[in-house]
Amino acid sequence: MQNDVRKLREDRTLSQGDLARHLGVSRQTINAIETGRYLPSLPLAMAIGRYFGRAIEEVFRDDDQPVGAQ
Amino acid sequence: MTTNRWERSDVVTRFFGRGWGLVLVGLSIGGMLGGADFVASGSLGRSLIDVAIVAGYTVALAVFRARSETASVLAGSPVDERWEAINLRAMALAGQIAGLAALAGFILAEASGHDWSGFAIVAGAVGLGYVGGVIWYRSRL
């Protein structure tokens, strides 16, 4: 599973700590999600999508799905 | 829907989420250990050291859990769902190790002619706990 969380966060010039505070999780958890080490729960994934104004599938992708394909 | 459903879903997490819960458990365990040591040895000093070690550990966790995510897990109150997942995996690993250690102890004690009942009780508790957990959670997850 790949995701665009880092890109979306950096586009908004947010730090990992800023995003973590908005979502109510730890900074380390944001880092783990961005690097693909941790796959968030559905509620957290939805919260991330909602925060960036995107659908979940616009933020998270299957590895089989080509990058950028929607 | 909230992103921190895990906070409400686990009775143990809710209990330890309160600092007094952790300290209460620490003092209770320390008190029981100290009491058992006092009954066995009659030494009040040793008993107090038992209580102080366990109580000190839990008080330290209660203090540092707000500053360290790792301490928050050790204190039984993970800060978010990832740390909750880490906590669950660590507990599962500890349970497997406890079960294997009890089984190995049982086999070694049996082979060497020693009393194996203590190992059997622990291994039985681990096994029954696992089966009970599967039955409990299969209708809830």
State which amino acid sits at residue B132.
G
B70-99 residue pLDDT tens: 998 888 889 999 999 999 999 999 999 999
Residue A25 resides in a domain: yes
Pick from A28, A38, A41: CB nearest B69: A28
Residue A68 resides in a domain: no
Chain A positions in Cβ-Cβ contact with residue B83 (cut-off 8 Å): 26, 29
Residue A39 resides in a domain: yes
Q: How far apart (Å, rounded) are the C-alpha atoms in residues B134 and B118?
A: 25
What DSSP character marks residue A61? E
Overall number of domains in chain A: 1
Domain that holds residue A14: 2-60
Residue A70 resides in a domain: no
State which amino acid sits at residue B13.
T
What DSSP character marks residue A68? T
Q: How far apart (Å, rounded) are the C-alpha atoms in residues B7 and B81?
A: 8
ipTM above 0.85, yes or no: no
Report pLDDT for B2. Answer: 47
Q: What does residue A2 show for φ and ψ, rounded to 5 degrees?
A: -110, 160
Chain A positions in Cβ-Cβ contact with residue B82 (cut-off 8 Å): 25-26, 28-29, 32, 38, 40
Residue A65 resides in a domain: no
- Best residue in B1, B67, B80 for a mutation probing chain A (most A CBs within 10 Å): B80
- Least Cα distance to A38 among B47, B80, B68, B114 occurs for B80
Global model pTM greater than 0.90: no
Distance from CA of B87 to the nearest CA of A (A): 14
Burial (CB count within 10 angstroms: exposed 0-12, middle 13-18, buried 19+), residue B34: buried
Point out the residues of chain B with pLDDT beneath 50: 1-2, 5, 7-9
A9-48 residue pLDDT tens: 999 999 999 999 999 999 999 999 999 999 999 999 999 9
CB contact under 8 A, B69 and A41: no
Question: In which residue are the tokens 């109150």 written?
Answer: B77
Residue A55 resides in a domain: yes
Report the CATH number that the domain containing residue A22 is assigned in CATH.
1.10.260.40
